[in-house]
Structure 1
Amino acid sequence: MGIFRGSGTDSRAPPNSAGVICTCTSIDKDQYFEEDEFEVKAFLTKMIWQLGLACFLPNESNKKKKTNNANLEHNKAWLLAESGGAELTNADPQSVHSSFRFSLCSQVELESMNMNSLASATILMVNLDSGLNDTKAKELKWRRIQSLERSISPIANYLARFSYNEIAAATCNFSKGRVLGRGALSFVFWGRVGFLRTAVAIKKLDKEDKESSKAFCRELMIASSLHHPNIVPLLGFCIDPEEGLFLVYKYVSGGSLDRHLHEKKKKGIKGVSALPWSVRYKVALGIAQAIAYLHNGTERCVVHRDIKPSNILLSSKKIPKLCDFGLATWTSAPSVPFLCKTVKGTFGYLAPEYFQHGKISDKTDVYAFGVVLLELVTGRKPIEPRRPSGEDNLVLWVGY
């Protein structure tokens, strides 16, 4: 916010100023202000127009005027230059400070005022949504992208990099019919990419989320380092300054374990799974091997933090594959807990020490996997509020 002081000569604010507030100092008696208050108002209005700002007196037409863009209207500031009242009656008429009282308010505050009380007020509009703010926002966005590029540079060359046009074409412009699932801050779309039309699952992160860059970088770095037959491989990514961040995974066609265990069947029979015991055993064994790999088979121990049936996919041959590393994190060593400020995950699968005290370790995944095993055996969800008291929590019910 620039502040310009002057006597009303042809002066202009710096071209990059986000907004200008004019403040006038007291003028000597020998100068311009030996006229009455009306001429002072006219002079102030002229000076503001020379600075390129709109200056007008509130009237009925202004009160009735409606905006076509509510968001734009609420992004404005108003400078009120109120002329003398009861408090200023005895003031020196040749001092601008003694003749006018200045205040700054928002659009909401202005609308809540009694407009009758503003009959003698000169209102100056200063739009905060100026070109400088846009420029700064773009510069900040580019800096974040450059920082992100530097962070992922060690592994970026080992993954396919897609343009936003390729991502949009693959998902039919993110058609609702292509949605595979959604998380707290992301959507997953089905699509096809490349000359061979390879089927992929494209994860679109929420570009409005301030933490999306960190989450994208962490997931990309972790997922790209994992190579196991029971883990969904990361194929590539897309970084677009305007449209956001995308991760491209291999598509697994058999659906999620959650769907096989808990969805209603075509005949309307509840609680009956189409998975035979041999497949359930195969799922349990495959995910156990994937978790063991995360904790002990990589250079750094990885804690998934969100192991649940909806993050376990089945291939056409019923091979289980662990997916979604959006909450995954590295730990210094297996079984060495560390504190997490924010508890994230899915209720019903959170280990007590994590949920109550924020402690994360490889045991966090082991607990969640234990709940998944109970689901495989019983066909029940971990939390079922409609069940009688004592039976609504699967873990507690099994423990009785």
Structure 2
Amino acid sequence: MSCFGCCEEDNIHNATDNGGQYMVKNSAGNFGGYHTSETASKSAQTVKVQPIEVPAILADELKEITDNYGNDALVGEGSYGRVYYGVLKSGEAAAIKKLDASKQPDDEFLAQVSMVSRLKHENFVQLLGYCVDGNSRILAYEFASNGSLHDILHGRKGVKGAQPGPVLTWAQRVKIAVGAAKGLEYLHEKADPHIIHRDIKSSNVLIFDDDVAKIADFDLSNQAPDMAARLHSTRVLGTFGYHAPEYAMTGQLNAKSDVYSFGVVLLELLTGRKPVDHTLPRGQQSLVTWVLFCNLFPYIQPLFHC
């Protein structure tokens, strides 16, 4: 599959010029507070974007279906905000993500929502709606009834004493791996503009009915339409244990970085081990290092008979 062997260097494209119906001005010369080690252009930049293809949801509706974002509706914390469960008035079960506070202008955020609203693939979690309410930004995504791959392999993330789900059969693991690979391939090579996820990990692979795997939860603010996105980032991106080795040296992430992280997810899926497990002896704590010096066959052979 091209996702593994043919990923090109970071090639985020500018938003398409055709079909744009309104303009978004980025006076900072970058997008969404993306920090760089070089000074981005301070001149005003205008970016054409297409209309948002999902409905705006009233803030009152979101508060009502999440019991005012109460703990009973809280289902987890993603990389960029808390996630709540709710059923929209349309009848769709939704993961309601209330994003962390940001100084990003509304027009830039809406430009990013416009881009995400056009991402449509069976292995990518769909955006159902959005809300801008003062300083609050909320996104509604389709809800994964079976949780994340991390939940199934290791127990629900952030919950003390959480137990893993039922042991996956070999056929289930293969289906999940292929589905997630297709989702990542779509982002890298078929989405317009091309997307670099920057935080591929098992908790961002969501499992739906019939073991359909979908990629979720990339940072909107890092999908910049200008050259600032290509510069060296001074903020730590991604998740420890999934980083490609070159990230520690260069601080840069590209499509190949995503593919490396996805390789770690595959090892996790095959072995059932976490990328980093500090309860294990030294030399075995890192999954990647352990695999390099270990014969995996005795560990995965039992799965062939599941």
After the TM superposition, list the runs of 4 or more consecutive aligned residues in structure 1 that deviate by more than 6 angstroms.
150-153, 268-272
Q: Which residue of 2 aligns with 1:193?
A: 88
Per-residue Cα deviation, 1:220-244 (whole angstroms, up to 9, x for no partner):
24421211100010011001115x1
State the SS of the aligned residue for 2:211.
coil
Q: Which residue of 2 aligns with 1:342?
A: 235
Q: Which residue of 2 aligns with 1:230?
A: 123
Question: 2:133 is matched with which residue: 240, 244, 258?
Answer: 240
Q: Which residue of 2 aligns with 1:274?
A: 167
Q: Which residue of 2 aligns with 1:262?
A: 154
TM-score (norm 1): 0.55
Distance 1:215 1:181 in 2: 26
TM-score (norm 2): 0.71
Question: 1:174 is matched with which residue: 69, 78, 92?
Answer: 69
* Identical positions, percent: 38
Distance 2:108 2:64 in 1: 25
- Cα offset, 1:269, TM superposition: 11
Q: Which residue of 1 aligns with 2:51?
A: 155
Per-residue Cα deviation, 1:139-188 (whole angstroms, up to 9, x for no partner):
xxxxxxxxx9x9897323x2111111011011111111111211354111
- Cα offset, 1:386, TM superposition: 1.3
Distance 2:100 2:56 in 1: 19
State the SS of the aligned residue for 1:236.
strand
Kindly provide the amino acid, as one letter, of the partner of residue 205 in structure 1.
L
- Cα offset, 1:214, TM superposition: 8.3
Q: 1:254 to 1:162 in 2, by over 3 A?
A: same
Larger Rg: 1
Mapping of residues 182-331 of structure 1, within 5 Å: 182-194=77-89, 196-207=90-101, 209-211=102-104, 216-217=109-110, 219-241=112-134, 244-263=136-155, 273-326=166-219, 329-330=222-223
- Cα offset, 1:339, TM superposition: 2.7
Q: Which residue of 2 aligns with 1:362?
A: 255
State the SS of the aligned residue for 2:283.
coil
Q: Is contact 2:200–2:242 with CA below 8 Å preserved after alignment?
A: yes
Q: Which residue of 2 aligns with 1:103?
A: none
Distance 2:216 2:291 in 1: 27
What is the root-mean-square deviation in Å for CA atoms of aligned residues? 2.9
- Cα offset, 1:300, TM superposition: 2.4
Distance 1:257 1:365 in 2: 17
Gaps of 5+ in 1: 1-147
Gaps of 5+ in 2: 1-31, 33-45, 294-306
Distance 2:93 2:291 in 1: 40
Distance 1:214 1:283 in 2: 36
Distance 1:270 1:235 in 2: 30
Q: Which residue of 2 aligns with 1:74?
A: none
Distance 1:367 1:162 in 2: 37
State the SS of the aligned residue for 1:160.
coil
Per-residue Cα deviation, 1:258-280 (whole angstroms, up to 9, x for no partner):
0110128xxx9977852111111
Per-residue Cα deviation, 1:99-139 (whole angstroms, up to 9, x for no partner):
xxxxxxxxxxxxxxxxxxxxxxxxxxxxxxxxxxxxxxxxx
The one of the two structures with greater contact order (alpha-carbon pairs below 8 A, sep at least 6) is 2
Distance 2:283 2:110 in 1: 42
Distance 1:224 1:349 in 2: 27
